[in-house]
C-alpha cells in the first residue's frame, strides 16, 4: 500500500495535534493518511443508515402494517423491539469480533447479515400464512448486523483518521444511524399514504442494504492502513477488559448517564407514532416530528464534531448536551399529552433531537479517550448495550412489550377481530 501514491495523501510529521506522548530519545515519527479512509467511511455510513431504516420500517406505519399483515399492534412493535433484545444478546460477541477479528471482517459480516435480512423481509410477503415468523427472522438478521455496524465508527476513526479529524469522522458515521431513522419516519408514511403496498416498501428498503453490501465486499480490502495515521495507532490497543473498564470511574459515570439517554431515544424513535396518534395526530405529522428531531440533531452533530476536533472539549460538550437533552425529554413528556398543538409538539421534538442526537458521537469519542488504550469497540459497545437495556426496561415498564402478543392465539384473535381490538390505538 505504501507504493500506491495515488491512494494516499501527504506524509505528515508528528505534531502537537497528536496528544499521545512519544518515547524519550525516539526519532521523529512519520504517519500517513490514506484517501481510501473516506470510501470506508462512506460505506460504513451507508450500512448504518440502511440498517436503521430496516429497524424502524414499521414503527411509523404500525397501524397499517397490523391491518395489512393481520397482526396485533404489539406484534408489529416486536419488529422494532427485536433489535433491542438481539443487541443485548449479541453485543459482547460483536465487541470481541471488532477488537480481535478487525474492522474489515466485522463490516463484511454486518453487510451480509443486513442484506440477507432485508431480502428475507421481501420474500416473507409472498407467504401470507407465515409472514410473521419470516418477517421476524429477517428483522433478527438485520438486528444481528446492528452491533457490528454501530460499534464500528469509533474504531474506524481511530485506525484510519488523524486525531484532528476523528470526532468529525465519528460524527459522520454515527449520525448515519439517526439519518436512517429520519428516512424511515418520512418514507414509510409517505409510501403507504400514496397507496403503495407494504411489499413495495420492503423492496425500497432492500435497495440500500444491497448496495452497501456490494460496496463493502468489493471495496474494503484491509482492516488497517499500512502506516498508522497518528502516534496513538502506532501502538496497538490493549486486549479488551470489561473489568478494567468498570473500574474506570469516569467511564462508569458516562456509561450510566449516557446509556440511559440512549434508552430514552430508543423509546422515542420506536413509539413516537403511537404516542402522538393517541392525541389525534396523523402518521404524517408523527413522521414529520421524527424527521425534524433527526435533521436538527444531524446539523448539531456536524457543528459539534468540527468544534470538538479543534478544541478537544469533549467533557464540556457532553455535559451541556446531556443536560439540554434532559430538559427536552421532560418537555416532550408533557407536550405530547396535548391535542391540537402541532407547532408546539414539533418544536419540542426538534429541541429534543437537536441536543440528544448531536451529543451521541461526542460522548462515544469521549468514551474512547477516557479508556485509551482499551479497544474502541468494547468501550463504545458497553455504552450502547447499557442504552438498549435501559430502553428495553422502559418498554416493559410502560406496557409497550407484551410477550403474550407473539403467541399463536394472539394471531388468531387479531385475524378475526383485530380491527375492533385495536380501535382505541389507531389514528
Length of the chain: 427
**What's the mean pLDDT in 269-290?**
80
In a domain, 325, yes or no: yes
Please, are residues 14 and 29 in contact by the beta-carbon 8 Å criterion?
Answer: yes
**What's the mean pLDDT in 58-74?**
86
Q: What pTM, to 2 d.p., does this model score?
A: 0.76
In a domain, 30, yes or no: no
Domain that holds residue 94: 36-223+239-405
Kindly state the percentage of the chain with pLDDT values over 70. Answer: 81
Task: Provide the number of structural domains found in the chain.
Answer: 1
Residues 361-420: pLDDT tens digits?
888 888 888 877 777 778 888 888 887 777 666 666 655 444 444 443 343 343 334 433
**Residue in 46, 196, 63, 54 with CA at minimum distance from that of residue 135:** 54
Please, are residues 374 and 239 in contact by the beta-carbon 8 Å criterion?
Answer: no
In a domain, 427, yes or no: no
Looking at residue 18, what is its pLDDT? 45
DSSP code, position 61: G
Looking at residue 232, what is its pLDDT? 58
- What string of DSSP letters covers 280-343? T--HHHHHHHHHHHHHHHHHHHHHHHHHHHHH--HHHHHHHHHHHHHHHHHHHHHHTT-SS-HH
Looking at residue 29, what is its pLDDT? 54
Residue 45 has pLDDT above 90, yes or no: yes
Looking at residue 148, what is its pLDDT? 93
In a domain, 1, yes or no: no
> Cα-Cα-Cα-Cα dihedral of 209, 58, 71, 129, to 10°?
-20
Q: At what angle do helices 152-160 and 131-150 cross, to 10 degrees?
A: 30
**Residue in 82, 224, 207 with CA at minimum distance from that of residue 145:** 82
In a domain, 188, yes or no: yes
In a domain, 26, yes or no: no
Tell me the β-bridge partners of 11. 32
Looking at residue 104, what is its pLDDT? 94
For position 76, which CATH number holds? 1.20.1250.20
Q: Are strands 8-13 and 30-34 parallel, antiparallel or unpaired?
A: antiparallel
Ranking 108-112, 140-144, 158-162 by mean pLDDT, the lowest is 158-162
In a domain, 16, yes or no: no
Q: From residue 138, how far is each of 23, 130, 141, 206 by CA, in Å?
A: 51, 13, 5, 11
Looking at residue 6, what is its pLDDT? 43
In a domain, 13, yes or no: no
How far is 93 from 35, CA to CA, in rounded Å?
31
Residues 197-225: pLDDT tens digits?
889 999 999 999 999 999 999 999 888 88
Amino acid at each position: 500500500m505504501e507504493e500506491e501514491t495515488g491512494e494516499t495523501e501527504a506524509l505528515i510529521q508528528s505534531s502537537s495535534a497528536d496528544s499521545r506522548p512519544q518515547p524519550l530519545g525516539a526519532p521523529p515519527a512519520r504517519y500517513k493518511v490514506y484517501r481510501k479512509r473516506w470510501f470506508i467511511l462512506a460505506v460504513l455510513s451507508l450500512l448504518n443508515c440502511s440498517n436503521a431504516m430496516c429497524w424502524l420500517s414499521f414503527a411509523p406505519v404500525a397501524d397499517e402494517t397490523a391491518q395489512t399483515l393481520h397482526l396485533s399492534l404489539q406484534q408489529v412493535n416486536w419488529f422494532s423491539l427485536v433489535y433491542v433484545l438481539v443487541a443485548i444478546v449479541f453485543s459482547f460477541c460483536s465487541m470481541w469480533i471488532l477488537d480481535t477479528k478487525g474492522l474489515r471482517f466485522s463490516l463484511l459480516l454486518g453487510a451480509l447479515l443486513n442484506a440477507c435480512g432485508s431480502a428475507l423481509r421481501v420474500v416473507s410477503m409472498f407467504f401470507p400464512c407465515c409472514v410473521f415468523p419470516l418477517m421476524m427472522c429477517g428483522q433478527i438478521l438485520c438486528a444481528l448486523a446492528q452491533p457490528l455496524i454501530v460499534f464500528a465508527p469509533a474504531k474506524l476513526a481511530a485506525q484510519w483518521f488523524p486525531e484532528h479529524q476523528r470526532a468529525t469522522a465519528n460524527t459522520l458515521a454515527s449520525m448515519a444511524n439517526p439519518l436512517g431513522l429520519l428516512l424511515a419516519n418520512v418514507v414509510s408514511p409517505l409510501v403507504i399514504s400514496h397507496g403503495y403496498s407494504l411489499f413495495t416498501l420492503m423492496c425500497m428498503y432492500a435497495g440500500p442494504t444491497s448496495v452497501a453490501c456490494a460496496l463493502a465486499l468489493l471495496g474494503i480490502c484491509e482492516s488497517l492502513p499500512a502506516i498508522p495515521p497518528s502516534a496513538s495507532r502506532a501502538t496497538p490497543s490493549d486486549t479488551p477488559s470489561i473489568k478494567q473498564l468498570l473500574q474506570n470511574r469516569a467511564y462508569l459515570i458516562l456509561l450510566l448517564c449516557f446509556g440511559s439517554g440512549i434508552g430514552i431515544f430508543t423509546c422515542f424513535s420506536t413509539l413516537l407514532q403511537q404516542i402522538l396518534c393517541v392525541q389525534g395526530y396523523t402518521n404524517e405529522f408523527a413522521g414529520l416530528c421524527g424527521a425534524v428531531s433527526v435533521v436538527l440533531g444531524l446539523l448539531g452533530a456536524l457543528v459539534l464534531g468540527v468544534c470538538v476536533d479543534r478544541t478537544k472539549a469533549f467533557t464540556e460538550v457532553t455535559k451541556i448536551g446531556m443536560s439540554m437533552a434532559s430538559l427536552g425529554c421532560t418537555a416532550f413528556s408533557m407536550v405530547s399529552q396535548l391535542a391540537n398543538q402541532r407547532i408546539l409538539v414539533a418544536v419540542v421534538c426538534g429541541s429534543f433531537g437537536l441536543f440528544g442526537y448531536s451529543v451521541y458521537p461526542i460522548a462515544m469519542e469521549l468514551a474512547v479517550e477516557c479508556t485509551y488504550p482499551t479497544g474502541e469497540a468494547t468501550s463504545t459497545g458497553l455504552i450502547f448495550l447499557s442504552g438498549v437495556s435501559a430502553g428495553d426496561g422502559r418498554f416493559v415498564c410502560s406496557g409497550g412489550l407484551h410477550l403474550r402478543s407473539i403467541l399463536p392465539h394472539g394471531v388468531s384473535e387479531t385475524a378475526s377481530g383485530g380491527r375492533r381490538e385495536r380501535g382505541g390505538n389507531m389514528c
